[in-house]
Amino acid sequence: MSKQRQLDNLRADILAKNICPDLAAQATQLVMGDGNLNAEIVFIGEAPGKKEDEQGVPFVGASGKFLNEMLATAGLERADVYITNIVKYRPPKNRDPSKDEKQTFWPYLLRQLEIINPKVVITLGRHSMGYFLPGAVIGNIHGQPVDVTIDDDATYCLIPLYHPAAALYNGSLRQTLADDFMRVPEIIKKLA
């Protein structure tokens, strides 16, 4: 079955199981993911914001524009990568996704990763990082690749990065994020 078909089935499954009904009730739509289904890199953010909720595409608002800039510093375009979020409905008033919401969506994120089958998973911010690396502190480990094995099953090379929204208006974090992005192609080359 094609990857697109498998992702469509995953989407249908989330809708049929009425995952996070309270979030679903107030969101415009489910925001599954965007980009190249054969990408070597999958980026995982937190949850859709207002623009993402309206358009059904992750990272299209201010953080998304900044993410595009960061991708360019690594010589990448959005069409080269796949982008998604741990929680796939917009939380009301852009609040942080709750532990329950993240936990409920986690198995679906893992299935999404299995379908795309990237070489590298890049978490953006602490919400998605925390599920791959419980207890990790982003300030200590950002930009450093680490192999993670999930449920004794799939192993991914994970690179935890700061969330673009955190770096957008903070000069020093912005530089840190740009430096980390610039190192991504080198990390991938070493894996090949």
Number of residues that bind ligand URA (CB under 6 A): 13
Stretch that binds ligand URA, among 6-14, 40-48, 109-117, 140-148 (CB under 6 A): 40-48
23 vs 165, beta carbon nearer ligand URA = 165
Residues 69-128 touching ligand URA, rule: CB under 6 A, are: 85
Q: Is 49 in the site for ligand URA (CB under 6 A)?
A: yes
Stretch that binds ligand URA, among 16-24, 54-62, 154-162, 172-180 (CB under 6 A): 54-62
Stretch that binds ligand URA, among 5-13, 43-51, 140-148, 173-181 (CB under 6 A): 43-51
Min. distance of Cβ 59 from ligand URA in angstroms?
A: 4
Among 14, 19, 27, 48, binds ligand URA (CB under 6 A): 48
Min. distance of Cβ 89 from ligand URA in angstroms?
A: 11
Q: Binding string to ligand URA for residues 159 to 188, with x set by CB under 6 A, is what? A: ------x-----------------------
Give the integer Cα–Cα distance in Å for 112 and 70.
24
Find residue 120's DSSP bridge partners.
41, 157
64 vs 143, beta carbon nearer ligand URA = 64
Cβ contact 120:156 at 8 Å: yes
* Geometric angle at alpha carbon 58, from 147 and 170, rounded to 5°: 75
Would you tell me the crossing angle of helices 62-73 and 171-191 to the nearest 10 degrees? Answer: 50
- Is residue 82 helix, strand or coil? strand
Among 35, 45, 91, 145, binds ligand URA (CB under 6 A): 45
Judged by phi (left if over 0) then psi (alpha if -120 to 50, else beta), residue 35 lies in left
Q: Is 63 in the site for ligand URA (CB under 6 A)?
A: yes
Judged by phi (left if over 0) then psi (alpha if -120 to 50, else beta), residue 183 lies in alpha
Phi, psi (deg, nearest 5) at residue 24: -60, -40
Q: How far is CA 122 from CA 13, 16, 19, 75, 152, in A?
A: 25, 29, 24, 16, 20
Could you list the residues that contact ligand URA (CB under 6 A)?
45-49, 52, 58-59, 61, 63-64, 85, 165
